[in-house]
Amino acid sequence: MAPSLAVHARRGAAALATAAVMGAAAAPAAFADGSPSPAPGLYGTADPKFDGVFRQSLAFMAQNAVDVTPAKPAVDWLAGQQCEDGGFPGYRADPAKACDPKKDEFTDATAAAVQGLAAAGGRADAVKKGLDWLKAHQNDDGGWGYQAGSPSDANSTSIALGAFAAAGQDPAKDAVKNGRNDKNAVETLLTFQLGCDAKEGERGAFAYLKDDKGLRADNLASAAAALATLGKGFLFEPPKKDADQPVKALECSGDDEKARPKDAAAAAGAVDGYLVATMDKNGGYLLPSMPGAPAKPDQGNTADAALALAAGGHRAAAEKPLKWLRSKESGTAEWAKGQPGRLAKLILATRAAGGDPRDFAGANLVDQLNATGPAPEKRATGGMGKEDEEKKDDSVTINVWWIVGVGLAFGAGIGFLISGRKKKQQL
């Protein structure tokens, strides 16, 4: 198989898997008849073959963002998907059956699961095993492919970097291949970015893969890389409302016609400029990245872009794609209905940009997400004690799992934090 054909074959396989996370038409629909979820604890009723782990992980991150604690059976389900060596499949129908490391384990699923379990809390051992798997399967060039041994791509590398950020580690320092070489994953990711020698309108974008035809702008990879170059995963603390930063496109002037951003901060600014310019040209949205997909508005890519822009502190810029997503013309309400992965991405993007996910064009995205899986744990409400009550302190709402986490931290000395395609369109 010629190199270019091999690249397209890999990309096509990855695209199909990520499409499933979004519920795209290319993905199978074995559970489209509305039958019950194929496994207790799993969110959503659509066929989980490709995206079960990913959508579950996104759901936990979104719930964390709005102070909702997922049900223990749901967290157990995700933790139970982990393979013995720490990697995760897209979905494992029989957790008792051993995984085939060469076929069943994927970078994107593992990195997403690390972020999801870190968000859910109480699963420090599973999180550590997932990070160890990522370190062990980092390519010699410093990046990651969608499977162990696959050529590095920008999307998998970005999601893997987000997993380290989710665990409270510095991706630029910690995501290095166990000291076996000095390849830094962030620096490797920057090699996928298009510079001033690219076509106008594509400068600052990230390519998904490198092939014999060079770098080609990819919307999904660009949005993913915009988060990773900032050292962030899907879940992060929103910027302050009064800290809005303007978006600047990659400057291409002077004698260096091939100039490209020289560091992660500059790369993040340049890719944000690409995303904004591209959405402005389209009317507020992004088009699909998946090969062969029709050139029509892509809600998933657009939500990813809004999240990335908010992460960069560009609140006003992030609000533009969210405004389009809230419009009736976008069809977002129907697109996200009953789809936990999609609902989670909308929640994360809305919250990051300073909006209210419980009032998304009149819809309560949080309730809709919760309804796709086991009823969340109720948060315990307790007073501060009689003396404190007399001092007029109100009762405080405390997340039950936070209490459990504190107990574990004292008892075992372990604590964790947090911050998606196999492949294409993690929402």
Question: Cα-atom radius of gyration of the chain, to the nearest Å?
Answer: 21
Q: How far, rounded to the nearest angstrom, does the alpha carbon of residue 356 sit from its chain's CA centroid? A: 20
Cis status, amide bond into 345, omega within 30 of 0: no
**Residue 410: which pLDDT band, with cuts at 50, 70 and 90?**
very low
Read off the pLDDT band of 181 (50, 70, 90): low
pLDDT of amino acid 417 = 29
Would you tell me how many other CB atoms lie within 10 Å of the CB of residue 252?
18
- What would the mean pLDDT of 38-65 be, rounded to a whole number? 94
Tell me the C-alpha distance between 118 and 111, whole Å: 11
> Does pLDDT of 175 surpass 80?
no
Where residue 179 falls among pLDDT bands split at 50, 70, 90? low
Measure the CA angle with vertex 318, ends 314 and 322; round to 5°: 165
Name the band, by pLDDT with cuts 50, 70 and 90, for residue 182. confident
List, for residues 117-167, the tens digit of each pLDDT value.
Answer: 999 999 999 999 999 999 999 999 999 999 988 999 999 999 999 999 999
User: Can you say whether the dihedral through the CA atoms of 80, 84, 88, 91 is positive or negative?
Assistant: negative
Residue type, 27: A
Rounded mean pLDDT, 310-317: 95
87 touches 130 (CB < 8 A):
yes
pLDDT of residue 177: 63
Average pLDDT, integer, range 271-300:
93
Cα–Cα dist 123/118, whole Å: 7
Instruction: Report pLDDT for 251.
Output: 83
Give me the mean pLDDT over the 2-16 stretch. 45
**pLDDT-based confidence at residue 258 (cuts at 50, 70, 90):** low
pLDDT at site 262: 84
- The pLDDT of residue 32 is 40
Q: Exposure of 413 by Cβ count < 10 A (0-12 exposed, 13-18 middle, 19+ buried)?
A: exposed
Half-sphere exposure (CA, 13 Å, Cβ side) for 63? 37
d(CA 129, CA 104): 16
Main-chain phi, psi angles of 323, to 5 degrees: -60, -40
pLDDT at 240: 84
Give whichever of 7-11, 332-336, 377-381 has the largest mean pLDDT: 332-336
pLDDT at 389: 34
Structure tokens at 290: 């998946």
* pLDDT at residue 405 is higher than 50: no
Written as six digits, the tokens of 214 are 């060079």
Q: Higher-confidence residue: 26 or 196? A: 196
pLDDT of residue 390: 36
Question: Nearest CA to 370 among 340, 342, 408, 327?
Answer: 340
Give me 376's structure tokens: 């969340």
Looking at per-residue confidence, does 289 or 89 come out higher?
Answer: 89
Residue 402, pLDDT score:
34
pLDDT of residue 337: 97
Of the pLDDT bands very low, low, confident and very high (cuts 50, 70, 90), residue 104 is very high
Q: Is the pLDDT of residue 116 over 80?
A: yes
Contact 225, 272 (CB under 8 A): no
Q: What is the pLDDT of residue 254?
A: 63
CB 244 within 8 A of CB 316: yes
**Rounded CA gap, 41 and 1, in Å?**
42
SS3 248: coil
Burial category of 253 from C-beta neighbours within 10 Å (exposed 0-12, middle 13-18, buried 19 and up): exposed
pLDDT attached to residue 378: 60
Backbone phi, psi, residue 170, to 5°: -90, 110
User: Residue 425: is its pLDDT beyond 90?
Assistant: no
Mean of per-residue pLDDT scores for the chain: 82
Tally of CA atoms within 13 A in the half-sphere of 195 that contains its CB? 13
Query: Which of 179-194 are b and which e, b meaning 16 or more Cβ less than 10 Å from the residue's Cβ?
Result: eeeebbbbebbbbbbb
Q: Return the C-alpha torsion angle 364, 366, 371, 377, nearest 10.
A: -140
Specify the DSSP class assigned to residue 238: P
| Cβ burial, residue 254 (10 Å; 0-12/13-18/19+) | exposed
Residue 423 has pLDDT above 50, yes or no: no
Please tell me the predicted confidence (pLDDT) of residue 255.
58
